[in-house]
DNA sequence: CCATTGACAAACCGACGGTCGGTTTACTAA
DNA sequence: TTAGTAAACCGACCGTCGGTTTGTCAATGG
């Protein structure tokens, strides 16, 4: 084994770590490469040896955060012991809302990532992590007639967007605990309505 | 009347017009002030006489686009002749989805605006334009018992986010017409479920 | 022992956003 | 007419920043 490579990986991790803090704190544009170099004590050459550019460094940070969030969410859902689609979705939404309250997640994943990575790439990541889980559970709900099968995809997107939105609302609220409570009630009610079995095809007024 | 001021307003409008095209086409970061100057034939001094900085120029563009979108959406809703909350919301959502398919709206309002203006300011604008309308209609729905009154705010946010999300999904789809059809069906079903009065008494405040 | 390679260093470059002193143009009052 | 004023406009210049290029060094493997 090459000790140089271990050292390289260590500095790479260190760069991601420091960059995560800075990006979360000042945003992508507000964070200069200079600042990262200063905080890490690295040189330009070293950074550009590990990452082809600022955007790729950011991308590495996004993937790191995404992974951590995914693991936390999964842990929270399994810890809830839910088995029914409604409970699973509720647990997932609430977990996501709590996670998205964290500035690191909010700023990096929700605010900057779509712009920096281009939202095409961002969608791929989201589909890989959050959307996939939602679709799986919604498909179960569709199999038991709680949701139209052809709208699983659309409903998954709606659920994902709703979670993000509520998380941002909470973050913006003056009274965060109150907003959190309201949002959780909204999730509960929202899911109850969305998953209700359809007796007759979509009604018209 | 002072012809100097008229001329000033004209160049200001011209700057906004050209900047709108460029921002929509290349995004905020991808658009240099130089490019705007070149396309307008203006000088740096002139631009910075009218706008304190690039971000303020972008802000003016955002407001301009927002206004146009708001007018179009309102026109579409009134043209639909809807009176019931369900139909009003459906008309509004569909109108918004169609408008958001336009690259100008998508790139400027949905992608760049939150990052550049900071999403606090962005939320203020959104509340002023789209969210206000949704809340009004949802309040009507709450008055007739179709929706819990204490969740009007949350549901309005969810509806707004859902519309944005579906618009982005459509934009990303390979088969746009098909995606559009699916999304419209999803809106229909989604609204029907969201606004259906629940058999057991809804929590009211 | 030496050619190779990964890690890091630092001088340098071009583009960009923003500033600033100055000029032109048009209106107004003496 | 003319002096004064203010808005509109001009363009050279500056600092910052992301990215490139060239070079050093030490560990590795034949």
Say whether the CB atom of A132 is under 7 angstroms from strand D: no
Q: Does domain A3-194 have CATH number 3.40.50.720?
A: no
pLDDT range class, residue B205, cuts 50, 70, 90: very low
A168-187 pLDDT, tens per residue?
999 888 999 999 999 999 99
Cβ-based neighbour number of residue B176 at 10 Å: 12
- Distance from the Cα of B168 to chain A's closest Cα (Å) equals 9
Q: For residue A189, which residues of chain B lie inside 8 Å, CB to CB?
A: 148, 151, 202-203
Say whether the CB atom of B201 is under 7 angstroms from strand C: no
pLDDT tops 70 at residue B139: yes
A175 touches chain B (CB under 8 A): no
Nearest nucleotide to A10, CA against C1' atoms: C7
Helix (H, G, I), strand (E, B) or coil at A101: coil
B151 and A186 within 8 Å at the Cβ level: the answer is yes
A113-135 pLDDT, tens per residue?
999 998 888 888 888 888 888 99
> What φ, ψ does residue B32 adopt, rounded to 5°?
-90, 150
Q: Which of B162, B187, B204 to substitute to test the interface with A, most A CBs within 10 Å?
A: B162
Distance CA(A171)–CA(A109), nearest Å, equals 14
Give the residue whose CA sits closest to D28 at C1'. Answer: A2
Rounded mean pLDDT of A138-143?
Answer: 92
Helix (H, G, I), strand (E, B) or coil at A121: helix
Question: Degrees (nearest 5) of the Cα angle B85, B201, B186?
Answer: 40
pLDDT score at B36 = 95
Residue by residue, DSSP assigns B67-125 as HHHHHHHHHHHHHHT--SHHHHHHHHHHHHHHHHTSHIIIIIIIIIHHHHH-HHHHHHH
Contact B201, A166 (CB under 8 A): no
B49-60 pLDDT, tens per residue?
999 999 999 999
In chain A, the residue whose alpha carbon lies closest to the alpha carbon of B173 is A120
Helix (H, G, I), strand (E, B) or coil at B64: helix
What are the residues whose beta carbons fall under 8 Å from the beta carbon of B44, sequence distance 6 or more?
Answer: B33, B37
pLDDT score at A204 = 41
A38-52 pLDDT, tens per residue?
999 999 989 999 999
* CATH architecture of the domain with residue range B59-195: Orthogonal Bundle (1.10)
Residue in A115, A162, A202 nearest the CB of B112: A115
pLDDT range class, residue A201, cuts 50, 70, 90: very low
Contact B165, A160 (CB under 8 A): yes
Query: In the structure, how far is the CA atom of residue A2 from the C1' atom of nucleotide D29, in angstroms?
Result: 11
For strand D, the positions having any atom within 7 A of a protein Cβ are 7-13, 16-23, 27-29
pLDDT score at A7 = 75
A162 and B158 within 8 Å at the Cβ level: the answer is yes
């Amino acid at each position: 084994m090459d000790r140089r490579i271990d050292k390289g990986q260590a500095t790479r991790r260190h760069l991601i770590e420091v960059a995560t803090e800075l990006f979360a704190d000042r945003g992508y544009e507000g964070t200069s490469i200079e600042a990262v170099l200063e905080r890490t004590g690295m040189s330009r050459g070293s950074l550009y040896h590990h990452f082809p550019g600022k955007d790729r460094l950011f991308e590495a940070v996004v993937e790191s955060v995404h992974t951590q969030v995914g693991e936390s969410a999964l842990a929270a859902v399994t810890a809830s012991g839910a088995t029914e689609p409604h409970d699973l979705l509720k647990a997932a939404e609430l977990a996501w809302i709590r996670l998205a309250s964290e500035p690191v997640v909010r700023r990096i994943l929700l605010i900057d990532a779509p712009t920096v990575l281009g939202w095409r790439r961002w969608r791929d990541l989201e589909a890989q992590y959050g959307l996939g889980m939602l679709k799986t559970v919604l498909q179960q709900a569709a199999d038991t007639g709680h949701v139209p099968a052809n709208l699983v995809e659309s409903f998954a997107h709606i659920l994902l967007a709703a979670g993000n939105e509520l998380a941002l609302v909470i973050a913006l609220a003056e009274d965060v605990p109150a907003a959190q409570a309201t949002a959780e009630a909204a999730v509960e009610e929202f899911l109850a309505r969305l998953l209700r079995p359809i007796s007759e095809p979509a009604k018209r007024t």
